[in-house]
């Protein structure tokens, strides 16, 4: 075993935290079978203790240790998308700690595809509970440096696997209710799921699940700079207004810089959804660090391909401009 993985496994076995890369975002991991270890996650993140965590497994074969009454849909989706960015909510086995499930009768499970995550999970040979490795309510980390910025010495080890390829959190599908329900959009779309199951999952209204699905709270993925979503016309209008007011502005838009000005920092965003998602959190972090009065983001097109990105942008806008995590 590589020394870095050996050290990570030793820390997990001792009930300590290890941050690690997944294909979506970096996770803040603890031994999911150890309630005291899981409690450390909530303390490090400053996250309310009733918010459930996703348990990361080394392989789909581990499902039955954590879930019961596993429906055929779960097996089909696991075969199609694991390892990969899909979390399944299933009825939990009784021994799954309440600290992991937020006291609910269900548990969120996924097998991530990042090679370093898989190496860690295989070596640990158990479930690792891991939310995104950010302080509660802030932007999810997609590099090891972001994790250090967020959590500093609160986490003894950060495994560095480079920039996360997907860049936004996993799709969450609830299979505990009889009919599949999409709780959080992600890189695996409703259409992808429909291709496997034969019909599209139901979706929930954005606010219906809070705080059970903490990602559905609006104050999530949020920069400190007030973030405004604008159309392409609205962008130029808002930009002119800000400049008239003498404000420094950061812009994230798919076009090349339209207005050159000392007060404007312009960042061009990828024109397709996967590229946009991959860069999204790093771009928000970079622009947020400038300390501008305003962050203007040109809203990507509506439509299924952009659903997950638009979901994160909407939440980032809603939660932005706060001094503290809520
Ligand atoms: O891509 C991801 O899913 C990343 C990486 C690290 O795997 N993890 C992640 O974790 O985004 P977190 O804690 O930031 O978001 C997990 C979401 C939350 O919205 C939580 O409420 C929901 O999963 N969740 C977990 N268990 C659940 C359950 N039993 N029922 C409903 N929602 C659940
Ligand atoms: Mg999160």
> Domain 227-319 has what CATH class?
alpha beta
Ligand minimally distant from the alpha carbon of residue 325: 2
Q: Please state the domain extents for the chain.
A: 3-203, 227-319
Q: Ligand 2 centre and the CA of 215: distance in Å?
A: 6
CA distance 9 to 246: 53
Look at the block and give the residue holding tokens 């009784």: 94
Answer yes or no: is the C-beta of 101 below 6 A from any ligand 1 atom. Answer: yes
* CA pair distance 248, 182, nearest whole angstrom: 39
**pLDDT digits (tens), the chain, 326 positions:** 899 999 999 999 999 999 999 999 999 999 999 999 999 999 999 998 889 999 999 999 999 999 999 999 999 999 999 999 999 999 999 999 999 999 999 999 999 999 999 999 999 999 999 999 999 989 999 999 999 999 999 999 999 999 999 999 999 999 999 999 999 999 999 999 999 999 999 998 665 545 455 455 555 678 999 999 999 999 999 999 999 999 999 999 999 988 889 999 999 999 999 999 999 999 999 999 999 999 999 999 999 999 999 999 999 999 898 654 43
Residue 310 CB–ligand 1 contact under 6 Å = no
Q: Which residue among 19, 100, 130, 214 is best mutated to probe the pocket of ligand 1, counting the most ligand atoms within 8 A of its Cβ?
A: 214
109 contacts 57 by C-beta, under 8 angstroms: yes
The string of DSSP codes covering 86-151 is EEEEEEBPTTS-HHHHTT-SEEEEE----HHHHHHHHHHTS-EE--BSS-TTSPPP-SHHHHHHHH
Contacts of 44 (CB under 8 A, 6+ apart): 17, 28, 151, 154, 155
Asked whether 170 lines ligand 1 (CB < 6 A), one says yes
- Give the list of residues 6+ apart from residue 60 with CB closer than 8 angstroms, or none: 75, 78, 79, 82, 111
Distance of alpha carbon 21 from alpha carbon 28, whole angstroms: 9
Residue 171: exposed, middle, or buried by beta-carbon count in 10 A (0-12, 13-18, 19+)?
Answer: buried
261, HSE (Cβ side, Cα atoms, 13 Å): 16
Q: Is 162 left (phi over 0), alpha (psi -120 to 50) or beta?
A: left
pLDDT the model gives residue 325: 42
Could you give the CA distance from residue 9 to residue 124 in angstroms, rounded to a whole number? 6
Q: Is the CB of 113 under 6 A from ligand 1?
A: no
Fold topology of 3-203: DHBP synthase (3.90.870)
For ligand 1, whether the C-beta of 209 sits within 6 Å is no
Q: Which ligand is nearest to the CA of 211?
A: 1
Q: Which residues contact 102 (CB under 8 A, 6 or more apart)?
A: 49, 50, 51, 52, 53, 212
How far is it, in rounded angstroms, from Cα 76 to Cα 85?
Answer: 15
Tokens, residue 297: 């983001």
Sheet of 86-91: strands edge to edge? 157-158, 18-20, 27-31, 128-129, 54-56, 106-110, 86-91, 171-174, 181-184, 202-203
C-alpha 213 – ligand 1 centre gap (Å): 7
Ion ligand 2 neighbours, Cβ < 5 Å = 132
Atom of ligand 1 lying closest to residue 56 CA: 7
Cα atoms in the 13 Å half-sphere on the side-chain side of 192: 18
Please tell me the pTM assigned to this model.
0.95
Write the burial class of residue 248 (CB in 10 Å: 0-12 exposed, 13-18 middle, 19+ buried): middle
């Amino acid at each position: 075993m590589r020394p870095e993985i050996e050290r990570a496994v030793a820390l997990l076995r001792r009930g300590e935290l290890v941050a690690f890369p997944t294909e979506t975002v970096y996770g803040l991991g603890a031994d999911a079978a150890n309630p005291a270890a899981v409690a450390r996650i909530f303390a490090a993140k400053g996250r309310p203790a009733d918010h459930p965590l996703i348990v990361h497994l080394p392989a789909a074969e581990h499902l039955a240790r954590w879930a019961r009454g596993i429906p055929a849909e779960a097996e089909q989706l696991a075969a199609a998308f694991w390892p990969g960015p899909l979390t399944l909510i299933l009825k939990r086995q009784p021994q799954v700690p309440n600290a992991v499930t937020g006291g609910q009768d269900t548990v969120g499970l996924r097998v991530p595809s990042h090679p370093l995550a898989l190496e860690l999970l295989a070596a640990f040979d158990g479930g690792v509970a891991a939310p995104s490795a950010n302080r509660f309510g802030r932007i999810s980390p997609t590099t090891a440096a972001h994790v250090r910025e967020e959590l500093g010495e609160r986490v003894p080890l950060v495994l560095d696997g480079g920039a996360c390829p997907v860049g936004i959190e996993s799709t969450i599908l609830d299979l505990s209710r009889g009919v599949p329900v999409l709780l959080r959009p992600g890189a695996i779309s409703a259409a992808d799921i429909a291709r496997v199951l034969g019909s599209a999952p139901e979706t929930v209204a954005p606010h219906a699940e809070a705080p059970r699905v903490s990602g559905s709270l609006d104050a999530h993925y949020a920069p400190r700079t007030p973030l405004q979503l604008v159309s392409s016309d609205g962008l130029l209008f808002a930009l002119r207004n800000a400049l008239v007011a003498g404000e420094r502005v950061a812009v994230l838009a798919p076009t090349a810089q339209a207005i050159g000005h000392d007060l404007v920092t312009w960042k061009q965003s990828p024109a397709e959804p996967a590229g946009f998602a991959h860069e999204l959190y790093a771009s928000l972090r970079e622009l947020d660090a400038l300390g501008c009065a305003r962050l203007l983001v040109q809203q990507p097109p509506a439509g299924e391909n952009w659903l997950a990105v638009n979901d994160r942008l909407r939440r980032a806008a809603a939660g932005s401009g706060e001094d503290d995590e809520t």
